[in-house]
Amino acid sequence: MAMEKIKRIIPYAVILLVSAYFYVLAGRFGVVARAGNPGPDFWPKLLLGLTMAVCLYEIVKTALLHRGKALEDDAGVEKAEAPKRYPGPLIIGTLMTFAYAYFVNILGFILCTFLYLALFMVVGRYRKVWVIAANSVIGTVLFVVIFMKVVYVSLPLGQGPFQQFSLLVLKMLGIK
Amino acid sequence: MFDILSHLGIGFLHCFQPINLIFLFVGIIVGLLVGVLPGLTLVMGVILVLPFTYAMDVTPAIILLTAMYVSGTYGGAPTSILFRIPGEPIHVPLLWDGYAMARQGQAAKALGWTICAALIGGLFSAVIMVTLSEPVAKFALTFSTPEYFAIVLFGLTSVVSLGGGSLTNALISLCLGLLIASVGVDATYGAPRFAFGSPILMDGIEFLTVMVGAYGVGEVLTRLGEGFTTVPVETVGSMKTRMPSLKETWSIAPTFFRSSIIGTIIGIVPGAGATIASFVTYGVEGQYGKRKAKMGTGIPEGIVAPQAAATASVGGALIPLLALGIPGSGATAVILGAFLLHGIQPGPQIFITSTAMIYTVFASMFLGIILMSVVGYIAIKPLMKILDFPESVVSTFIMLLCFIGAFSIRNSISDLWLMVAFGVVGYVFEKIKFPIAPMVLGTILGPLAESSFMTTMISFQNDWTIFFRRPISGVVMALTVIALVLPLMRKFREIRHSKQAT
Closest-CA residue of chain A to B394: A121
Chain A hits for B179, Cβ within 8 Å = 22, 44, 47-48, 51
Give CA–CA dist B421/B419, Å, rounded: 5
Render pLDDT for B85-141 as a digit per residue (tens, 0 to 9): 776 778 888 878 888 888 788 888 888 999 999 999 999 999 999 998 888 888 888
Q: Best mutation site among A47, A48, A55, A60 for testing chain B: the one with the most B CBs within 10 Å?
A: A47
Of B39 and B241, the structure prediction assigns the larger pLDDT to B241
Q: Which of A21-25, B71-75, B424-428, B485-489 has the lowest mean pLDDT?
A: B485-489
Point out the residue among A41, A86, A155 whose CB comes nearest to the CB of B227. Answer: A86
Point out the residue among B54, B193, B454 whose CB comes nearest to the CB of A153. Answer: B54
C-beta pairs of A46-50 under 8 Å, 24+ apart in sequence: A47/B175, A47/B178, A47/B179, A47/B182, A48/A19, A48/A20, A48/A22, A48/A23, A48/B175, A48/B179, A49/A23, A50/B171, A50/B175
Q: Output the average pLDDT for chain B.
A: 86
Give CA–CA dist A158/A160, Å, rounded: 7
pLDDT given at position A76 = 46
Mean per-residue pLDDT, B12-19: 91
Closest-CA residue of chain A to B188: A40
Mean per-residue pLDDT, B236-243: 69
CB contact under 8 Å between B54 and A152, yes or no, is yes
B164, pLDDT greater than 70 = no
Q: Grade residue B39 by pLDDT with cuts at 50, 70 and 90.
A: low
Give CA–CA dist B126/B34, Å, rounded: 22
pLDDT given at position A80 = 52
Chain B hits for A93, Cβ within 8 Å = 221, 224
CB contact under 8 Å between B179 and A105, yes or no, is no
pLDDT given at position B286 = 81
Render pLDDT for B307-343 as a digit per residue (tens, 0 to 9): 999 999 988 888 888 888 888 777 888 888 888 888 8
Distances B425 to B210, B213, B433 between C-alpha atoms, Å: 10, 8, 12
Choose from A165-174, B273-282, B402-411, B485-494 the range with maximum mean pLDDT.
Answer: A165-174
pLDDT given at position A100 = 95
Closest-CA residue of chain A to B230: A83
pLDDT given at position A77 = 46
Give CA–CA dist B46/B347, Å, rounded: 21
Min Cα separation A39/chain B (Å): 8
The answer to whether B455 contacts chain A (CB < 8 Å) is: no
B280, pLDDT greater than 60 = yes
Chain A hits for B453, Cβ within 8 Å = 43
Give CA–CA dist B12/B16, Å, rounded: 6
Min Cα separation B226/chain A (Å): 5
Min Cα separation A1/chain B (Å): 18
A157, pLDDT greater than 60 = yes
Give CA–CA dist B270/A173, Å, rounded: 46
Residues 417-436 (B) with a CB less than 8 A from some CB of A: 417, 420, 423-424, 427, 432, 434
Q: What percent of chain A has pLDDT over 70?
A: 89
A15, pLDDT greater than 50 = yes
pLDDT given at position B239 = 67
Give CA–CA dist B377/B383, Å, rounded: 11
pLDDT given at position A72 = 46
Chain A hits for B172, Cβ within 8 Å = 12, 15, 51, 54-55
CB contact under 8 Å between A126 and B390, yes or no, is yes
Sign of the dihedral defined by the CA atoms of residues B36, B85, B393, B416, in that order: positive
CA atoms within 13 A on the CB side of B462: 8
The answer to whether B450 contacts chain A (CB < 8 Å) is: yes
The answer to whether B396 contacts chain A (CB < 8 Å) is: yes
Min Cα separation A172/chain B (Å): 22
CB contact under 8 Å between A120 and B191, yes or no, is no
One-letter amino acid for residue B99 of the chain? Y
Contact B259, B305 (CB under 8 A): yes
Interchain CB contacts (distance < 8 Å): A and B: 166
Give CA–CA dist B80/B95, Å, rounded: 6
pLDDT given at position B284 = 84
Q: Grade residue B1 by pLDDT with cuts at 50, 70 and 90.
A: confident
pLDDT given at position A78 = 47
Residue B192 gets which letter from DSSP? Answer: E
CB contact under 8 Å between A153 and B417, yes or no, is no
pLDDT given at position A34 = 74
The answer to whether B231 contacts chain A (CB < 8 Å) is: no
One-letter amino acid for residue B276 of the chain? I
A22, pLDDT greater than 50 = yes
Residue B204 gets which letter from DSSP? Answer: -
CB contact under 8 Å between B411 and A154, yes or no, is yes
Point out the residue among B175, B178, B403 whose CB comes nearest to the CB of A100. Answer: B403
CB contact under 8 Å between A97 and B453, yes or no, is no
Q: Best mutation site among A28, A94, A97, A103 for testing chain B: the one with the most B CBs within 10 Å?
A: A97
Contact A93, B228 (CB under 8 A): no
CB contact under 8 Å between A86 and B226, yes or no, is yes
Q: Grade residue B38 by pLDDT with cuts at 50, 70 and 90.
A: low
The pairing of strands B184-185 and B192-193 is antiparallel
Point out the residue among A33, A47, A58 whose CB comes nearest to the CB of B189. Answer: A33
Q: What percent of chain B has pLDDT over 90?
A: 28
CB contact under 8 Å between A101 and B420, yes or no, is yes
Min Cα separation A69/chain B (Å): 13
Render pLDDT for B282-306 as a digit per residue (tens, 0 to 9): 888 888 888 888 888 888 998 999 9
Q: Which of A108-122, B10-24, B145-159, B305-319 has the lowest mean pLDDT?
A: B145-159
Point out the residue among B189, B400, B413 whose CB comes nearest to the CB of A39. Answer: B189
User: CA torsion angle for A100, A105, A108, A110 (degrees, to 10)?
Assistant: 40
Q: Grade residue B230 by pLDDT with cuts at 50, 70 and 90.
A: low
Residues near A45 by beta carbon (within 8 Å), at least 6 away in sequence: A23, A26, A27
Min Cα separation B220/chain A (Å): 10
Chain A hits for B228, Cβ within 8 Å = 124-126
Chain B hits for A124, Cβ within 8 Å = 224, 228, 391-393, 395-396
Mean per-residue pLDDT, B227-234: 64
Q: Which of A51-55, B80-84, B451-455 has the lowest mean pLDDT?
A: B80-84
Residues near B126 by beta carbon (within 8 Å), at least 6 away in sequence: B315, B362, B365, B366, B369
CB contact under 8 Å between B51 and A147, yes or no, is yes
